[in-house]
Amino acid sequence: MASKGQKFRKYTDDERNVLLKEYFDGASSGYLSRKYDIPIKTVKNWIYKYKNPDRFPGLGKKPTGRPKEKGLTIDDYKERYEILKKYQAFLKVQREKK
């Protein structure tokens, strides 16, 4: 658990790629952890994420939020807005019934 005011080290993509290349060339994760002074858990996370690219697209950059839909027009947004307004009115009526 992080303590108040704790600083976290940021690693560049180049640093991560060098480490991963050495790992796949045969170096152990413990050795690389000591060599580059990086916590072993961080090294193991990078290796796991590299081996499972379908779960972590962008090598460790987890997607945030809902994927954006492409090709939506103004009419599509207006239709969604109207649906949302009707749903909010429905919820308001449901709350008043209780």
- d(CA 8, CA 26) in angstroms, rounded, equals 28
Q: Are residues 20 and 60 in the same domain?
A: yes
Q: Tell me 23's DSSP state.
A: H
Torsion of CA 3, 5, 36, 10, to 10 degrees: 120
Range with lowest mean pLDDT among 4-13, 20-29, 81-90: 4-13
Segment 9-52, tens digit of pLDDT:
889 888 888 999 999 899 999 999 999 999 999 999 998 888 88
Q: What pLDDT sits at residue 85?
A: 96
43: containing domain = 10-65
Instruction: Give, in degrees to the nearest 5, the angle at Cα 69 between 67 and 72.
Output: 160
The helix/strand/coil state of 48 is: helix
pLDDT at 40: 93
* 54 and 89 housed in the same domain: no
For residue range 54-79, what is the model confidence (pLDDT) as tens digits?
776 665 555 567 777 788 889 999 99
> What pLDDT score was predicted for residue 38?
92
Q: Among candidates 36, 6, 8, which has minimal Cα distance to 21? A: 36
Domain count, the chain: 2
